[in-house]
Amino acid sequence: PATGFSPYGIAAGPDEHLWFMEMNGYGASRAARMSTDGSAVDYPLPASVGTSYDLVSGADGRLWFGAKDALGAITTDGVTSIYPLPAGVNPWKVIAGPDGALWFADNGHGLGRMTTDGTFNEFLINPVGTSDVEDLAASSDGNVWFTDQSNRDIGRITPAGVITTWPLAKGAAGLTGGPDGNIWFGTTDGSGAMGRITPSGNLTYPLELPALCTGYCPSPSINEMTAGPDGGIWLNSWAA
């Protein structure tokens, strides 16, 4: 990283390089590209971007990232474009959706969708002002799934914006589409439990995991997970 900056987030770019965000302690961000031999190039971003935590490869061949009241995109040769959002919309957890658009959390309001030409739609989660979307994932069923930690829900939104939620007894965080076609998610309440839901909404929860550590173990919380190439679900935990 550039001097004074720390790396956040990482994504495989369409140029066969690794891309990640860099931040300093003063609200400035950079995008960086690294080859697999370790050589890197930094791209300063406009000051209006503010703090940006992660980025994702979009269907248009650019890398997309969240910014203050905006989404941003950068080409693989470092040309940046900023797409303003309504005031107060601060995107979080930007992902590439199965419909080719970018989807993100707009905490306190709901979910946002932006096409690669900059067309924006907002989908509110009711009651407005209560949502805390922790993670999003594209699924093989063509929809985007999300966890709402404040409302203790797991939810599904269609490309047309129809939202369906399923209540949970515990707060949920990370989730991923599994190789079995189901959506898997983890809890953050210290139980170390996971859940699974089918695309049609058949919920199995909680799935208790084996002990994640031995000896002294802080209460386990599952924050991130992904489907592995071995057909399993891999996750990280504060207790592991």
Neighbours of 80 (CB within 10 A): 18
Distance of alpha carbon 112 from alpha carbon 11, whole angstroms: 21
**Looking at per-residue confidence, does 52 or 166 come out higher?**
166
Strand 102-106, strand 92-96: pairing? antiparallel
Paired tokens of 141: 């069923």
Residue 52's pLDDT band, with cuts at 50, 70 and 90, is confident
Assess whether the previous peptide bond of 206 is cis (omega < 30° from 0). Answer: yes
Looking at residue 127, its pLDDT comes to 73
Residue 154's pLDDT band, with cuts at 50, 70 and 90, is very high
pLDDT of 2 > 80? The answer is: no
pLDDT digits (tens, 9 = 90+) for 122-152: 998 877 777 888 899 999 999 999 998 888 8
pLDDT of 240 > 80? The answer is: no
CB 143 within 8 A of CB 161: no
CB 46 within 8 A of CB 28: no
Looking at residue 190, its pLDDT comes to 64
Mean pLDDT value of segment 214-223: 63
Looking at residue 234, its pLDDT comes to 85
Paired tokens of 216: 């002294």
pLDDT digits (tens, 9 = 90+) for 96-120: 999 999 999 987 688 999 999 999 9
Distance of alpha carbon 70 from alpha carbon 24, whole angstroms: 19
Closest CA to 11 of 51, 43, 70, 53: 53
Say which residue the tokens 């707009």 belong to.
106
Q: What is the mean pLDDT of the chain?
A: 86
Q: Which residues contact residue 206 at a Cβ distance below 8 angstroms, ignoring those fewer than 6 apart?
A: 169, 170, 187, 191, 193, 194, 195
Mean pLDDT value of segment 157-184: 90
CB 177 within 8 A of CB 227: yes
Whole-number percent of the chain with pLDDT over 90: 48
Give the 3-state secondary structure of 205-227: EEEECCCCCCCCCCCCCEEEEEE
Q: Which residues contact residue 42 at a Cβ distance below 8 angstroms, ignoring those fewer than 6 apart?
A: 1, 2, 5, 22, 30, 31, 32
200 by DSSP, 3-state: which? coil
Residue 214's pLDDT band, with cuts at 50, 70 and 90, is low
